[in-house]
Amino acid sequence: MKKRNYFALAFEDDSLTFLDQTKLPFVEEYITTDNYERIAEAIERLEIRGAPVIGIAAAFAVTLAMKKNSSSENFTRAYNRLSVTRPTAVNLFWALNQMKKVFKDSSDKENVYAALLLKAKEIQDEDAKMCEKMGEHGLNIFKKRSVVLTHCNTGALAAEGGTAFSVIKKGFENGLVSSVFADETRPLLQGSRLTAYELSKNEIPFEIITDSTAASLFLKKKIDLVITGADRITANGDVANKIGTYNLAVLCKYHGVPFYIAAPSSTIDISISHYSEIPIELRSSKEITSLNGKQITLESYPCYNPSFDVTPSEFISGIITEKGLFTFPYQFK
């Protein structure tokens, strides 16, 4: 199998380098910056995306903000700026609060940059380890050699080693995944652009389908299981993930197909206990009315464009974290 030869982001020479995911799969363009505002913009533009990677990027961004100005006012300014980039992904806030604790606990503000950088690298390293463990625990969901359907992108572009993609990859390496159906994931096509890119890079057999094709595949009994990632998981196991995830969960429930979530424990928000409390990001109507800068319908037409939907816990067969495979009723500590 080909070794992965791409990465979402890397910190070198006091700068962050990230792959502009909006240009994939046609162009692999890496951007290097030491400006936290540029990183914040990259998160908002989806040049950097995927809940765990967003958290890692934010940790490095707030670190870079302290490189030349380590004042409390500057830290607060950077923290607040980054915290409004994407409201749904809890990993963002988890990582920022980790950095905030380091800043507050640092007695030597002259050298706080080094302390923050150490923590940011630790968050990145831990994410890689968690992804590897998720892949290993995920082997338990396969009862036979399976055809898997997945939604949006959950690979190394979204997390250091992938969340749901890590399970798929580990399953394929162990002869438990025969092929993958990748939903296109409208309106920004993370499935057809990014997941297909990663499946191809890892030489895993796949076919792209339109989001509306999935139901017909269930009726024909072509799907053995579905696995996706998550942007926020509540204390009772309700999940927010890319819009279209709930559709799949309902299809799985009706057709008796297992539906799984894979996400690091940093995605679990124990402060909320019901999906109704999860903030859902609404994005520009331009993402629906245009494609790659070209109008596909009238810009004046009104659009409803939530980036995420929610799936109640009773629809989920299991949630895989680095700590193991959890099943309903979910109890996270």
Catalytic residue numbers, as ranges: 231
Classify residue 38 as exposed, middle or buried by CB count within 10 Å of its CB (0-12, 13-18, 19+).
middle
Q: How many CA atoms lie within 13 A of 226 on its CB side?
A: 30
Task: Retrieve residue 316's tokens.
Answer: 């989920």
Q: Which of 102, 226, 211, 83 is nearest to 168 (CA)?
A: 226
Q: Name the CA dihedral angle for 238, 243, 246, 249, rounded to a multiple of 10 degrees.
A: -100
Unique residue bearing structure tokens 């055809």? 147
Task: Retrieve residue 281's tokens.
Answer: 């990001």
Task: Annotate 204-253 with DSSP letters as a single string.
Answer: --EEEE-GGGHHHHHHTT--SEEEE--SEEETTS-EEEETTHHHHHHHHH
| In contact, 54 and 43? CB cutoff 8 Å | yes
CA 29 to the chain's CA centroid: 20
Task: Annotate 18-73 with DSSP letters as a single string.
Answer: EE-GGGTTT---EEEE--HHHHHHHHHTTSS-SHHHHHHHHHHHHHHHTTT---HH
| In contact, 150 and 164? CB cutoff 8 Å | yes
